[in-house]
Amino acid sequence: MVAIRAKSRPLAVFSFILILMSGCGGALNGEQKPDRREAEAEKPKEPYTMKIYAAGVAETEFDDRFRQVLKQKFPHITVEYFPGVKGATLPNLVAEGNIPDLIRTDVPTLRTAYLDLSLGYDLNDFVKKYKYDLSRFTSVFIDEIVDAGRTGALYGLPVPPYFPQALYYNKDLFDKFGVPYPKKTGITWDEVYDLAKKLTRVEGGAVYRGFSSHPGNTLRDNQFSLPILDPSADQLAEPEKWKVLFNNLLRFYEIPNNTIESTATLDGSAFAKGNVAMMTNQHSVYLKLPPELNWDLAAYPTLEGAPKLMPQRGPAYWSISNTSTHKEDAFEMIMVMLADEVQMADSRKGITTTLNSPVIKSALGKESPVYSTKNMDAVNVYPPIPYTKKRKAGLTDVPGLTLQNLQSQTFVDVAMGKMDVNTALRQLDEKLKAELAKEKSK
């Protein structure tokens, strides 16, 4: 009996091995079938083209900031870039059926250049799926895009830069006339006005202006966060506050020899000529000042009765087209382009971050040949001011650019002496109502 048990043992062991091989998906010739999920993960992804549209952003800028990092993270995706040139604007592409997957939107044109084209897509589901932390961003930027959409949807995530206001000053003119530079922080509009009077003069046949601005930006990005069109009624919002804002800026152009240019854009570019001592304007990498101009920055002047916050124009946003067949990849691309390391690289170049990171903010301009010698802390002295209130859902609205242009030209007309402030604001109110009537008739 002992001999029989000894012979049976190898057979039993062999049977056990066969059972194990069967349970593990064993194969002939010693091969083992790989786990199906592992095989899918190891399988190369199918290559395809992702179309990205960003009107007004040159392809060289996109390449410098984003293309390489996207190529590293998504080697199977080829990016086709559209900068919105003539003949290839977003409406052109939509009409051709060549709709981009990713679109750079902004608040003033969110309706006319995105939602009205039936491209709107809510990112909230992807935010939940990826547990994406929206608190990374300066909260006013997230709040504004949600409010602007008027549906509660999140139509985009904020991409740098945004455009904080600051006080620019020409150091050479201050030195020439023996006037101390503006205080770096805490200067008031009244103090700027006093400096402007001292620095406006005619010498040797040359006119030196104490102050200029881009009135459209200065009034739009105002310190009351005051909208042009009332959020709840078909009229100019709070005319008495607009009167304060108009009068505050108007007094500078009433200084003899500090005459405003014929358009807001021309007055905004006057500082670059070298004969203007101070300018309020946005900090923007797109604002090109001559290299020979010896300028610096101070914090934006505070206004009596207004919060001590920094006026700003919000950023653009990365949005996804609802027609895209690559929405999830598009969202992953957005996350990569808005990552901390990408925004830190942007900040070092002088591009303001949309994140609330003090470390990234403090790096602003540190590696820029232009901004590394400037007081870039000036744009971070005060927190960004809340965005202007948007129209309530259900009320007819007017495109943001239309509102801005009406307001800007109205002020220029006042500053040129064509009408007084009260008349100008009354006419602006009438123009707004006319625009609303146009929109309602569509």
170: enclosing H helix or E strand: strand 163-170
d(CA 385, CA 388): 9
Phi, psi for residue 416 in degrees, rounded to 5: -85, 0
Write down the pTM of the prediction: 0.87
* C-alpha to C-alpha distance for 221 and 243, rounded to whole angstroms: 15
**To 5 degrees, how large is the angle CA 335–CA 336–CA 339?**
85
Alpha carbon separation from 197 to 172, 208, 296, 389 (Å, rounded): 17, 11, 20, 35
Cis preceding linkage at 108, omega within 30: no
Interatomic CA distance for residues 309 and 40, integer angstroms: 53
DSSP 229: B
> Is residue 338 within 8 Å of 168, Cβ to Cβ?
no
Span 48-162+315-364 CATH architecture: 3-Layer(aba) Sandwich (3.40)
The Cα 127–Cα 291 span in angstroms is 43
Contacts of 429 (CB under 8 A, 6+ apart): 235, 236, 239
216-218-224-225 Cα dihedral, nearest 10 degrees: 60
Which position has the token pair 């170049």? Answer: 349
User: DSSP for 67-80?
Assistant: IHHHHHH-TTEEEE
- Confidence (pLDDT) at 45: 87
Number of neighbouring beta carbons within 10 Å of residue 394: 6
- Asked if the domains 48-162+315-364 and 163-313+385-441 are classified in one and the same CATH topology, the answer is yes
End-to-end Cα spacing for the chain: 102
CATH number belonging to the domain at 163-313+385-441, selected among 3.40.50.150, 3.40.190.10, 3.40.50.1970, 3.90.226.10: 3.40.190.10
Angle at 200 between CA 244 and CA 214, to 5 degrees: 50
pLDDT at 42 (0 to 100): 63
CB 369 within 8 Å of CB 166: no
Query: Which alpha helices (DSSP H) does 259-399 contain, by range?
Result: 264-269, 327-337, 340-348, 358-362
Cα–Cα distance for residue pair 43/274, rounded to 1 Å: 61
CB 325 within 8 A of CB 51: no
208 strand-pairing partners: 201
Q: Where are the domains of the chain?
A: 48-162+315-364, 163-313+385-441
**Euclidean distance between CA atoms 71 and 79, whole angstroms:** 8
Residue 45, sorted as left (phi over 0), alpha (psi -120 to 50) or beta, turns out to be: beta
Structural tokens at position 389: 């209130």
CA 235 to CA 224: how far, in whole Å? 18
Q: Radius of gyration (Cα) for the chain, nearest Å?
A: 30
Structure tokens at 2: 């002992």
Residues facing 280 on adjacent strands: 167, 213
pLDDT in tens, the chain (442 residues): 334 333 444 444 444 433 333 444 433 333 334 444 455 456 788 999 999 999 999 999 999 999 999 999 999 999 999 999 999 999 999 999 999 999 999 998 999 999 999 999 999 999 999 999 999 999 999 999 999 999 999 999 999 999 999 999 999 999 999 999 999 999 999 999 999 999 999 999 999 999 999 999 999 999 999 999 999 999 999 999 999 999 999 999 999 999 999 999 999 999 999 999 999 999 999 999 999 999 999 999 999 999 999 999 999 999 999 999 999 999 999 999 999 999 999 999 999 999 999 999 999 999 999 999 999 999 999 999 999 999 998 999 999 889 999 999 999 999 999 999 999 999 999 999 999 999 999 9
Query: What residue has token string 């946005």?
Result: 282
Contacts of 238 (CB under 8 A, 6+ apart): 224, 226, 230
Buried b (16+ CB within 10 A) or exposed e, 82-107: bbbeeeeebeebbeeeebbbbbbbbb
Counting every residue written for the chain, the total comes to 442
**Residue 21 amino acid letter:** M
